[in-house]
Each structure stands twice: as C-alpha cells, then as structure tokens.
C-alpha cells in the first residue's frame, strides 16, 4: 500500500509540472524512450517501459493524435513508432518542467528511499 501511495504521489508531482505543457508523465516517458532509441516497434516500447501492450496502444494513439509521434508500417508490415519534429520540440520544451518535478520528487522522498530505489533492478 505504501509503495502504491509513493507511486501516486510521484506521478502527481510530474503531472502537475507537465500540465501547463499539455503533457502527462506517461506521455513524456514514451517521448523520452523514442528520443533515446530513435524508433521502436510498439512491443519494444512496452518492454522498455515495462508496460502492458494495451497501455502502450492507448498512449500511442493519443500521442499520434497530438502529432508528437508517427506510426508507420515498415517493409515487413510491422509498425514503427518515431518522434515527429513536434514531439522532439515537446521534449525540449518540457525539460525544465521535468527537472522541477525531479527536484520536487527528491524533496518528497527521503534520501535513503532514493538510494534503495536506485538498487532495484529494472
């Protein structure tokens, strides 16, 4: 129960900071993963972010509607997800808000809890 409460608190902090940019923490996490990887198939994105396939599908639909990603078929017919210029721009624009959220999260969590979380295998 405490772990879920910490998770909800952290999500709320990030969402509050990102709200003025029209983005959520979940959306920005997908954009960051694509920014790092360049392109991913939806199942790869699910694995990287440790999310259910249905959650990834729902997030990708919304991000595509916002114009932040494209979903295209490659030569084999598999879907490839990439950032658009607007998505890359959103990443740059939200960086200061993300940094503020990180600072707030550090204030909320005790240093020893942060240390313990760093040791958790991903």
How far, rounded to the nearest angstrom, does the alpha carbon of residue 106 sit from its chain's CA centroid? 18
pTM for this model (two decimals): 0.80
User: Using CA atoms, how far apart are residues 118 and 102, in angstroms rounded to an integer?
Assistant: 14
Does 90 have pLDDT greater than 70? Answer: yes
Give residue 122's pLDDT.
67
**pLDDT tens sequence across 52-63:** 999 999 999 999
The whole-number pLDDT of residue 111 equals 56
CB within 8 A of 56, min separation 6: which ones?
30, 42, 45, 46, 49
Greater model confidence, 41 or 106: 41
The rounded distance, in Å, linking the Cα atoms of 5 and 28 is 21
Integer Cα distance of 54 and 49 in angstroms? 13
The pLDDT of residue 87: 96
Domains defined along the chain, listed by start: 2-111 (1.10.10.10)
């Amino acid at each position: 129960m405490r772990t879920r409460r910490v998770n909800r608190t952290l999500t709320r902090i990030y969402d509050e900071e990102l709200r003025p940019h029209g983005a959520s923490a979940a959306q920005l996490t997908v954009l960051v993963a694509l920014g790092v990887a360049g392109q991913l198939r939806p199942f790869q994105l699910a694995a990287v972010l440790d999310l259910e396939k249905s959650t990834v599908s729902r997030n990708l639909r919304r991000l595509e509607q916002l114009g932040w990603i494209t979903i295209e078929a490659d030569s084999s017919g598999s879907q490839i997800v990439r950032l658009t210029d607007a998505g890359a721009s959103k990443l740059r624009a939200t960086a200061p808000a993300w940094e503020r959220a990180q600072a707030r999260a550090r204030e909320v969590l005790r240093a020893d809890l942060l240390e313990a979380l760093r040791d958790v295998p991903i």
